[in-house]
Amino acid sequence: MPTHKIGYFVGSLSSVSINRKLSKALIRLAPAGLEFTEIPIRDLPLYSPDFDAAYPPEGQALKTAVEGSDGILFISPEYNRSIPGALKNAIDWGSRPWGTNSFARKPTGIIGTSPGGIGTAVMQSSFRSVLSFLDAPQLNAPEAYIRFDPAIYGDDGEVSDPGTETFLRHFMEEFGAFVERVLAANAPGHIGDEHPDERKLDR
Ligand code: FNR
């Protein structure tokens, strides 16, 4: 696999985030051709259309990071059966100003963990609607709803359970292959690559 730049979002601001632990495991288990850079969300102001006329540096940096990535991976908790506010705010920043949606045609993957049995499944379901609206192709399978077991995950991405390690490694291999497929489809010469409105969203 050639090298691909993957920007990743951790949807938690917690200093003891289990999703950050999961992100370290995923990076450790990813195929050699993927290079990871976190896209930070902590210091973003709350998005308002009032910013559109002069995007602040934090918002512009996020857009630049997304646009410079070959693929985007979201690793997020579920808050009240939905997307944590800090992560949704970051996505709103990347989607605007209108006509400059940074996520358009960007290959994406979603994964998350919680101590509960459904492992962020409801959050991921609503997240998929957001990515569809953003015209961001998403890895459909395997789905990854991870019930967190603190005995399995080390602080530096170690995974002590062989079954979990195999599953996470497979998820990352499939994500890497998906990124390659979407990049190939996005390459010049394919149907639709000349479409002038490809990055616009409904108002
Ligand atoms: C939660 N948690 C939670 N868990 C879950 O499985 N479904 C849910 O809807 C929620 N809702 C929720 C709301 C809020 C505001 C908090 C703070 C927590 C529990 C959550 O899974 C747990 O705190 C995880 O540790 C969060 O992940 P990070 O932040 O540790 O990565």
Each residue of 24-69: pLDDT tens digit?
A: 999 999 999 999 999 999 999 999 999 999 999 999 999 999 999 9
What spacing in Å lies between the alpha carbon of 166 and ligand 1's midpoint?
Answer: 25
3-class DSSP assignment, residue 127: helix
Tokens encoding 197? 């409105």
The Å distance, Cα 182 to ligand 1 centre, comes to 32
Between 115 and 202, residue with greater pLDDT = 115
Centre of ligand 1 from the C-alpha of residue 39, in Å: 21
Q: Which residue's CA lies nearest to atom 26 of ligand 1?
A: 77
Task: Give distance in angstroms: CA of 199 to centre of ligand 1.
Answer: 33
Average pLDDT over residues 132-152: 98
Q: Which residue has the higher pLDDT, 202 or 11?
A: 11
CA of 84 to the centre of ligand 1 (A): 9
* Residue 19 CA, closest ligand 1 atom number: 31
| Residue 144 reports pLDDT greater than 70 | yes
What is the Å distance from ligand 1's center to 77 Cα?
6
Residues 6+ apart with CB under 8 A from 115: 18, 147, 148
If you average pLDDT over residues 83-89, what whole number do you get? 98
Structural tokens at position 92: 């709103």
CA–CA dist 169, 201 (Å, integer):
35
Q: Is there an atom of ligand 1 within 6 Å of 95 CB? A: no
Q: Flag whether pLDDT at 201 surpasses 70.
A: no
Nearest ligand 1 atom to the CA of 11 is 31
The reported pTM is 0.95
- Whether 22 lines ligand 1, by a CB cut-off of 6 Å, is no
> Number of C-alpha atoms within 13 angstroms, CB side, residue 92?
15
* CA 54 to centroid of chain Cα atoms: 26
Does residue 114 have its Cβ closer than 6 Å to ligand 1? yes
Which distant-in-sequence residues (6+ apart) come within 8 Å of 188 by Cβ?
none
Residue 63: Cβ-neighbour burial (10 angstroms; 0-12, 13-18, 19+): buried
